[in-house]
């Protein structure tokens, strides 16, 4: 899970989503919750759904072609 999370956090689109989540959660809390807390919260609440919608499509496995 740690490797997946690290890879996910490298994506600028994910970081943008976390920043947006941070803003909303900070507004609710009445203070800046920080990126770390926002990232942990976003990953727990939204990462699976985000990956379903935004993960690159997997290429189908190549079938062996007949040469003759």
**E strands in 9-68:** none
Whole-prediction pTM value?
0.76
pLDDT of residue 58: 65
Distance CA(36)–CA(18), nearest Å, equals 9
DSSP 66: P
pLDDT of residue 38: 97
Q: How many residues are given for the chain?
A: 68
Q: What tokens does 58 get?
A: 């997997």
- Look up tokens 């079938």; give the residue: 63
Q: What is the pLDDT along the chain (68 residues), one digit of tens a residue?
A: 567 888 889 999 999 999 999 999 999 999 999 999 999 999 999 999 999 998 776 666 666 666 66
The pLDDT of residue 61 = 64
């Amino acid at each position: 899970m740690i490797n997946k999370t690290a890879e996910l956090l490298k994506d600028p689109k994910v970081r943008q989503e976390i920043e947006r989540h941070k803003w909303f959660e900070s507004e609710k809390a009445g203070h800046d919750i920080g990126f770390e807390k926002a990232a942990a919260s976003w990953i727990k609440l939204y990462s699976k759904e985000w990956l379903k919608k935004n993960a690159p499509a997997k290429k189908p496995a190549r079938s062996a072609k007949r040469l003759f």
